[in-house]
Amino acid sequence: MTNSNGHGQTLAEKILARSAGLDRVVPGQIVEGNVDLAMMHEQGAQTVAPFHQMGAEKVWDPDRVVIAIDHWVPASTEGAAVLHRILRKFAAEVNLPHFYDVGRHGICHQILAENGWVVPGDLAVGTDSHTNMLGAMGAVAAGVGPTEMAAVLALGRLWLKVPPTIRIEVNGRLGKGVTAKDLVLRVLGEVKTTGATYKAVEFGGSTVEGLSMPERFTICNMTTEMGAKAGMVAPDSKTYEYLEKIAKHPMHPTQPDRDASYERTIRIDVDDMPPMVACPYSPDNVRPLSDVAREHVTIDQAFLGSCTNARIEDIREGAALMKGHTVAKGVRFIVSPASTPIYEQCLKEGLIEVFTEAGAVFTNSSCSACFGGNMGILAPEEACASSSNRNFPGRMGAKEARIYLMSPAAVVASAIRGEVADPRDLV
C-alpha cells in the first residue's frame, strides 16, 4: 500500500472538474456539477413531493432522466403499487419519455448499462446506492437521496464534495473458476465496508484491462459496500466498442494522469487467488471459498440474481454448470435475470429450461430476493448462497438468516450440493 503525491488528477477529479466547468479540482472542494443523467426507481417516488415543494413545474431536461420500476415487479404489496402509481403519474405530468415500466423493465443499473444512458466522462446520479456500477463506463456515477434528486430534476445541477481517490491496481491472470466477483470480494476483504467512505475507488492494472464490460460492472457495483461515493474504470477500446451502437449522448472520455495524487494505492496480484466468499454478517468477512466449503455449511436457498451478477454472461455460466445436475433436496433455487432483454435472451438460448428442469425457479427480471422485500425472503435460521452484494443482518428477510456472497458459478455449485461449494469441484 502506497501514497501517491503527484500533481496530476485522478479520473474522478477530472470528470468532476469538467462537470463544474473548472480546469482542476482537489479533494474536499465543493463544486456545482452539471448532471448528465438522472435515474430514479421506486424510491424516486419520494422525490415528487419535494420537487413540487421547491416550486418546480418542469424537469431541466426530460431526455436526461430515466425511470425504471425494478424492486417490486409486478407490485407485490399495496405500498409498492402506490409508489409505482406516483411515478407513472409524475412521468406523465412532466413529460418524461424514458420510463421502463413493468413489461419492459429491468434492474435500474442494468437498464442504464444496456441502453447506453451513461457514457465516459458523465456525472450520473440515481436514487439507489449501487449507481456506482455505471462508473465502469469511465464516469462518476453516484447514489443520491430523494431531496437531492428533486433539486437535480429541477435544475440539472448538484453540489458535490470532491472525493479523495483510492487506486486499486490489479495484475495477474484470474485462474480457472475465479471471477470478477471473487476479485471484488478480495478487495472488500482488504478495504473493508468503511474503508472507502465518501471516496472514489479507481480500478486499474492489467487484470482490470482484461475484464469484459459486464465484469467491470460487477467490480464497480460493489464499491458501494466499501462506502465509496464512486467506483470507476477508465474507458478504453472495450468501453467504446460496448457503447458504439447504444450511446444515448456524446462522450467526454478522459484518463487519470500518470502522476495523479491518490490517497492510497492498493496492489493486488491475482495469479494464485482462489474463489472467495463473504460470510455472515458482512461483505468484508471474506474467506477462500474452499475453506468454507470444507465446513459443509448447509443452505436452504440459492439466489442467482441482482445488479451485481445477473447479466446474460452470469446466467450462461450458471446454466453450463447446471446441465446434467439437479437442485439438491431441501434447497430453493431462484434465478432472476437483470433485465427483460436478458430474460428474452435466456428464453432464446434455452437457459430457462436448463434451470427449471433442474428444479430451480426462473423469475421475471427484478431486484427479486436481493433486498428482502419482494420474493425469496429468508426465514430465521435459514442460510442462502447468493450472487448479490450485501449480507448484513436482515438483508434478505429475517435478521437471523445467514447470507453467503459468492460468484454465480459458486451459487450454482452450492445449489447442486446443498451446501456452500467450490464450483471447481464440479467442473
**Cβ–Cβ < 8 Å for 129, 223:** no
Q: How far is Cα 141 from Cα 37, in angstroms, rounded to an integer?
A: 9
On the 0-12 / 13-18 / 19+ scale of CB atoms within 10 A, 103 is: exposed
| Whether residue 226 is found in the same domain as residue 294 | no
| Whether residue 400 is found in the same domain as residue 331 | yes
pLDDT tens, position by position, 215-255: 999 999 999 999 999 999 999 999 999 999 999 999 999 99
For residue 6, the model assigns a pLDDT of 66
| Whether residue 238 is found in the same domain as residue 290 | no
> Domain of 342?
276-425
| Whether residue 205 is found in the same domain as residue 313 | no
Instruction: Flag whether 6 is in a domain.
Output: no
For residue 2, the model assigns a pLDDT of 44
| Whether residue 398 is found in the same domain as residue 297 | yes
Helices 408-417 and 312-322 cross at an angle (nearest 10°) of 30
| Whether residue 234 is found in the same domain as residue 283 | no
Here the CATH number for the domain that contains residue 96 is 3.30.499.10
For residue 406, the model assigns a pLDDT of 98
Instruction: Flag whether 55 is in a domain.
Output: yes
pLDDT tens, position by position, 118-166: 999 999 999 999 999 999 999 999 999 999 999 999 999 999 999 999 9
Q: How confident is the prediction for the chain on average, in pLDDT?
A: 96
Weakly modelled stretches of the chain, pLDDT under 50: 1-2
Domain count, the chain: 2
| Whether residue 177 is found in the same domain as residue 319 | no
Instruction: Flag whether 3 is in a domain.
Output: no
Instruction: Flag whether 293 is in a domain.
Output: yes
Q: How far is Cα 32 from Cα 25, in angstroms, rounded to an integer?
A: 11
| Whether residue 358 is found in the same domain as residue 407 | yes
Give me the residue label for grid cell 446441465: 323
For residue 1, the model assigns a pLDDT of 46
